[in-house]
């Protein structure tokens, strides 16, 4: 089992992807919108509430830029793959009903010793106009595929500010959170099958990294953008530890000048699960 290093630089053929109101509402529910109070965040969870216009949570951009089935990186045990980092940039607000053309490029395969980091960049463009809606950049860590003598990849100088966060947002995930979130498309058995999760070294199925990422995006949206998705520009973070369904998530946010912020997400016991977070807004 090995990675196919010749794929670095390869760009996929365009793949069309569509979504509608049901998809974006189910996504919002998978991120806990309305869980504490069903009458809050109705602009993301309902399409027929008087005086409320349905909107799309910004982090849905990552799903909009994902081709169904994903990219193939080589031959390895899929239980050894975990999401390592994720970022995206919105070039325009996401429509409730969308049809995009998605292309992705494998941008690097980095040697991390015990494993390999594979990075990709994807673009989702409006299928009719060709206008770019989303640029998404992600990385996956594949245990056991390192040690090939390659570049370790770029370093990051991010550091948490010394002062207290400007905002702290707490969300309680549900014990069945992964079972809800997987209905938005990621049916990886790592998040539902105990035997598969054990192969990956986990005591039980873990929460999707992008679910934790989406909870974090909700916190950023409400704390920094006045809950208005049109003010949300970009977001990046590294997944540092797994989250179990039912864990509390605590998002610490530091404003970093005009229109930018740093953030970090931890579980209730202080374990950092998303690190080196950056967001921009207007």
* CA atoms of 212 and 186, how far apart (whole Å): 13
195 phi and psi angles, rounded to 5 deg: -65, -45
- pLDDT value at 230 more than 90: yes
pLDDT tens for 176-226 read 999 999 999 999 999 999 999 998 889 999 999 999 999 999 999 999 999
How many CA atoms within 13 Å lie on the side-chain side of 166? Answer: 14
Q: What is the model's pLDDT at position 67?
A: 72
Strands across the sheet with 98-111, in order?
15-19, 98-111, 115-126, 132-143, 81-90, 232-239, 272-281, 260-267, 248-255, 167-172
- CATH label, 2-281, candidates 3.30.420.40, 3.30.300.20, 3.10.129.10, 3.90.1150.110: 3.10.129.10
Residue tagged active-site, from 23, 186, 247, 275: 186
Residue with tokens 């245990």: 143
Mean pLDDT of the chain: 94
* CA atoms of 60 and 157, how far apart (whole Å): 28
pLDDT tens for 108-167 read 999 999 999 999 999 999 999 999 999 999 999 998 888 888 889 888 889 888 899 999
Is residue 222 flagged as an active site residue? Answer: no
Average pLDDT over residues 35-49: 96
Q: To the nearest whole percent, how much of the chain has pLDDT over 70?
A: 98
pLDDT band (50, 70, 90) for residue 70: low
Residue 275 tokens, joined: 């690190």
Q: Report the predicted TM-score, pTM, of the whole model to 2 decimal places.
A: 0.94
- pLDDT value at 9 more than 80: yes
Q: What is the model's pLDDT at position 3?
A: 87
- pLDDT value at 282 more than 70: yes
Longest distance between any two alpha carbons in the chain, whole Å: 60
Is residue 186 flagged as an active site residue? Answer: yes
How many CA atoms within 13 Å lie on the side-chain side of 91? Answer: 13
Residue tagged active-site, from 83, 191, 247, 275: 191
Q: What is the model's pLDDT at position 68?
A: 66
Task: Classify residue 11 by its DSSP letter.
Answer: B
Average pLDDT over residues 244-263: 96
Residue 194 tokens, joined: 């105990």
Can you give the residue ranges of every domain in the chain? 2-281
């Amino acid at each position: 089992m090995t990675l196919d290093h010749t794929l670095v630089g390869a760009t996929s053929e365009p793949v069309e992807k569509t979504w509608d109101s049901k998809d974006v509402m189910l996504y919002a529910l998978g991120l806990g919108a309305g869980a504490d109070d069903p009458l809050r965040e109705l602009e993301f969870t309902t399409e027929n509430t008087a005086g409320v216009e349905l909107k799309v949570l910004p982090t849905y951009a990552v799903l909009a830029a994902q081709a169904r089935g994903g990219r193939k990186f080589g031959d390895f045990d899929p239980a050894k793959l975990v999401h390592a980092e994720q970022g995206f940039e919105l070039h325009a607000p996401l429509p409730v009903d969308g049809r995009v053309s998605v292309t992705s490029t494998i941008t690097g395969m980095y040697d991390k010793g015990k494993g390999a980091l594979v990075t990709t960049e994807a673009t989702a463009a409006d299928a009719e106009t060709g206008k770019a809606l989303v640029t998404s950049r992600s990385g996956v860590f594949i245990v056991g595929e390192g040690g090939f003598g390659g570049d370790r990849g770029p370093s990051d100088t991010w550091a948490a500010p010394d002062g207290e966060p400007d905002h702290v947002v707490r969300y309680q995930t549900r014990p069945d959170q992964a079972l809800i979130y997987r209905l938005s498309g990621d049916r990886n058995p790592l998040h539902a099958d105990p035997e598969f999760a054990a192969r990956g070294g986990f005591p039980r199925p873990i929460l999707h990294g992008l679910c934790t990422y989406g909870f974090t995006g909700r916190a950023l949206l409400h704390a920094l953008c006045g809950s208005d998705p049109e003010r949300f520009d970009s977001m990046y973070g590294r997944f540092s530890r797994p989250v179990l369904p039912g864990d509390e998530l605590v998002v610490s946010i530091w404003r970093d000048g005009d229109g930018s912020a740093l953030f970090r997400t931890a579980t209730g016991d202080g374990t950092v699960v998303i690190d080196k977070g950056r967001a921009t807004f207007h």
